[in-house]
Structure 1
Amino acid sequence: MSDARIEVHEDAADLATAVAGELLNRIADAQAAGHVPHIGLTGGTIADAIHREVARLAPESGVDWGAVDFWFGDERFVAPDSPDRNAGQAKAAFLDVVGVPDHRVHQMASTADAASVDEGAAAYEAEVKAHGSGQFDILMLGVGPDGHIASLFPGFPQLDAQDRIAVAVTGSPKPPPERISLTFEALRRSTSVWFLVSGDGKAEAVAKALGGADLHDTPAAGVEGTDETVWFLDRGSASQL
């Protein structure tokens, strides 16, 4: 990732404010150019902080929330009202707050929508094909301490999925065990990829990914944007660089 840009912020709060402001500016600029942007969302603690900052800053942004599509890099295959759902967290933190219409929020299946996690993955693949733009304008990704992104975990067979947009994951090392994830092939179809990482517990994974680790050991090493790759870090997550 020699061309990646690295931004180091003082702490998680500063990181969240910076990313939220940049996201709003990018969406507003795209809309001003007549484009309906497609944004890939992630879950996790730092993503939740960013989402809440988006909601706080949104009134001054000029963004038309009816003209932006939101997608998810992965999702937990659980009940629709489970607190583990990335979509539920994002809706509560900012999507519902700013008034994004439901048809613009492309959620992955819950256990109420699909009979199995495989069926749920197939349904999301069909959704992307039917309503996606072919690429994400901005894809946001969290990184786990083990270097996983979305629900692509080190050593798992989904890392080598071919000709697939979404895949089922079972036996996840991080609960809940059943998940749906976009594949590397899908994630790589992103103009801008933003990694959002906070805390010294992620520092080793960040250093490995930026140091060119094998994606089978550190999946975060396997995704770059076609135009831009940015690592938004705080001092803790950047401490081993």
Structure 2
Amino acid sequence: MAARRGDSSKPARATGAGLAPLVLVVDDEPAQRTLLGYNLEAAGFRVVTATDGEEALLLVAEHGPDIILLDWMLPHLSGVEVCRQLKARDDTRDIPVLMISARSEEDDRVRGLEIGADDYVTKPYSVNELVARVRANLRRTRPGAVGRVLEVGDITLDPERHQVFRAGAEIHLGPTEYRLLATFMERPGRVFSREMLLDRVWGRDIYVDSRTVDVHVGRLRKALRAHGGDDPLRTVRGAGYALG
């Protein structure tokens, strides 16, 4: 059975709807990576960094970040090409991409947006404004992480009150099952692999057997059917789990 090991001295941050959003910072300049990483973590986000476009694509596949801060000029594979590839794939096209560039001309902004970037920030930039833009983009893809009530079918999750209801009846969940449900509800219909769920629910800096996911999904299923109703979770053989 696969297991994951990391630095347990740095626990994953949590929000009302589960683990804090994961931001991938892609920049070949160490000072910029450090600056962005420090400020994003201070703002409550989890951060993983890449130094070039090829590494960025590998980390996207491995960690499934919630949002990407992508520098335009990168070695080996440009930020423009990375963005183009991500937006061309069904499994990554919905990840918000904030393009960061020293190019401030209108033509460059238009090009960045035309290849699929969700936002465009020019250097030098205000770190506070950049963090605000990250939050704004996450309201669409991680609404629970910014406090919005989630509703999928007859299931409602209120991250501020930390309560879950199904067909009006309150569902009592353990903390791990709650984070699992929040993850599924933020992206209904999406199939999450065990590895992706481990990243989003447990965090990558821990030691967990991947089969642990199956156990907690089973507990979540049981809790959601405590007052009757069909099983809302779907098992996709060889791929993972999805809600609806």
The alignment's TM-score, normalised by the length of structure 2, stands at: 0.32
**Larger radius of gyration between Structure 1 and Structure 2:** 2
Higher RCO, 1 vs 2 (CA within 8 Å, ≥6 residues apart): 1
The alignment's TM-score, normalised by the length of structure 1, stands at: 0.32
